[in-house]
Amino acid sequence: MKEANYDYIIVGAGSAGCVLANRLTEGGRHRVLLLETGGSDKSIFIQMPTALSIPMNTKKYAWQFETEPEPYLDNRRMHCPRGKVLGGSSSINGMVYVRGHARDFDEWQQQGADGWDYRHCLPYFKKAETWAFGGDEYRGDQGPLGVNNGNNMQNPLYRAFVDAGVDAGYFATDDYNGARQEGFGAMHMTVKNGRRWSTANAYLRPAMARDNLTVVTHALVHKVLLEGKQATGVRYEKDGKLVDVKASEEVILSAGSIGSPHLLQLSGIGNREVLEQAGIPVDHELPGVGGNLQDHLEFYFQFRCKEPVSLNGKLDWWNKLKIGVRWLLKKDGLGATNHFESCGFIRSKAGVEWPDLQYHFLPAAMRYDGKEAFSGDGFQLHIGHNKPRSRGSVYVQSDNPRQPPRILFNYLQHEDDREGFRDCVRLTREIISQPAMDRFRGPEIQPGVDVQSDQEIDAFVRQAVESAYHPSCTCKMGVDDQAVVGPDTRVHGVSGLRVVDSSIFPTIPNGNLNAPTIMVAERAADLIRGLAPLDPSTAPVEMDEHWRDRQRPGGARRAIA
């Protein structure tokens, strides 16, 4: 083994790791090593937004993890892809930019993540982004991350969906990442100049020109090196050879909500019983490692479309070729969007303070692998209950770093989660039945009009629901006995070791996870460097003041029993 020395070692060049690599090398003071198991992100299938389904389902670019049989989903094994490429999951995701509701971060603060409330997080969201329509007290205009609305809802189905939400008595929201999340409006995506604007493009590529950053790809990290309760470096494998590297300051795990707890466990840090069953010596007992696993589920609510305006007419090889050629030449058109250009955030019932249901609207009826669901025109809504109470785990199985961990989400274990999906079905039918959709609404394809009772909805959901690919919370931030890192992102009881990625979320936000993961890394970079935090925001948060007794601003629905 050969040795090399750095100030900081970052494990994982994903949504958080690329941010850290950029920020920690600013000014040239620190020598930083960034390790990534995957390789280049220069594939057209990664860079072209409309091709999003390809890298997610390709072994070269993503860990193709699979869960244990999920006991509350008829023992189905669920697909759990995670990025294995520069940019990590930001290079394989759907590019949807949702920060989450302000109360999600206040919830973090209440659970012991001091300083991570909305007032302190909002400045870092702003620091990260350049919003296509200019900055204000909520949106940034000087950050690395380009955010826009794709093709600005040119397809008439997008606007019809938003109008249907308003017809049903919900808010229209000009910016769900601004003062009010609740309501219907345009959806935002991390796309710039027609290209996927991953953290590799936004943060890493500029930093790679600096002499003090070393990036090593195709490097499989085996473990964190410990001397007593001090992390001193990591051991990784490249080209069949083991390499030990030392960090004079800190080791930072940014391997994601599956990779980071797994690597801690491989290093002898975790729940004693889990480590002993895997045959790994316990160097530091930390019971919460790998627990508290949370994710978002969703299903596709599909309808036929009465007018030939959906994208189903663009799924043949000839139209795909034309879209691809136009994108190659001009970086615009249907190739330059993820097609989720309108959305909705609503509360499932009266008594829920902030939105717990999320809609992604797609002007097509197709599967996530990009194949059509049926012949003819259609549209679909991806709908899910976003504040689950079910909890799962990511546990190491052996000391072999190539053996995937045991992943069990326990999806829909909690009755509140099952109730949330019943609300998804019934509220969606009501929204799509509004006059704004009359011109386009054809027969319901899925779930089907015969699915009506609680029992019928539950059975449908168990078979149809899919992961929204938002695993999180497995190295939770806090101060209780299940917390893995403190509010400073340092691992409890081990000096020189941090975790910075979506695994440290105490609870899952109401929205897609790329934006809050980038925010966490931006704020953690200041903590690591000992910089004063950005001044907290005073921007107001708009809520439905009558949330206790009504499900939507246009009228009461059902109160919580």
pLDDT for 49-91, tens place per residue? 999 999 999 999 999 999 999 999 999 999 999 999 999 999 9
pLDDT recorded at residue 559: 37
CB 136 within 8 A of CB 530: no
**Alpha carbon distances (Å) from 289 to 286, 391, 394, 540:** 6, 13, 8, 36
β 213-216/466-467 pair status: unpaired
Of 147, 203, 108, whose CA–CA distance to 139 is shortest? 147
pLDDT recorded at residue 2: 43
470 part of the active site: yes
Whole-angstrom Cα distance, residue 108 to residue 269?
24
| H or E, element range at 11 | strand 3-11
Whole-angstrom Cα distance, residue 235 to residue 219?
10
Close Cβ partners of 514 (under 8 Å, ≥ 6 residues apart): 15, 89, 90, 93, 95, 96, 97, 190
What CATH number is given for 1-70+79-148+188-291+471-530 in this structure? Answer: 3.50.50.60
pLDDT less than 50: residues of the chain: 1-2, 556-561
Residue with tokens 């826009």: 148
Whole-angstrom Cα distance, residue 6 to residue 33?
7
pLDDT recorded at residue 282: 98
Whole-angstrom Cα distance, residue 220 to residue 431?
48
CA atoms within 13 A on the CB side of 373: 23
Q: Which residues share a beta bridge with 392?
A: 293
Instruction: Write out the two tokens for 51.
Output: 């091709």
Catalytic residue among 222, 382, 385, 470: 470
Of 74, 69, 67, 71, whose CA–CA distance to 459 is shortest? 74
| Residue numbers belonging to the annotated binding site for FAD | 7-36, 85, 93-96, 221
* DSSP percent split of the chain into helix, strand, coil, nearest 5: 30, 25, 45
74-79 LR contacts (CB < 8 Å, sep 24+): 74/462, 74/463, 76/462, 76/463, 78/409, 78/411, 78/466, 78/467, 79/466, 79/467
Phi, psi torsion values for 430, nearest 5 degrees: -65, -40
Give the domain ranges of the chain: 1-70+79-148+188-291+471-530, 150-186+297-385+412-464+555-561
Whole-angstrom Cα distance, residue 216 to residue 9?
11
| Span 150-186+297-385+412-464+555-561 CATH architecture | 2-Layer Sandwich (3.30)
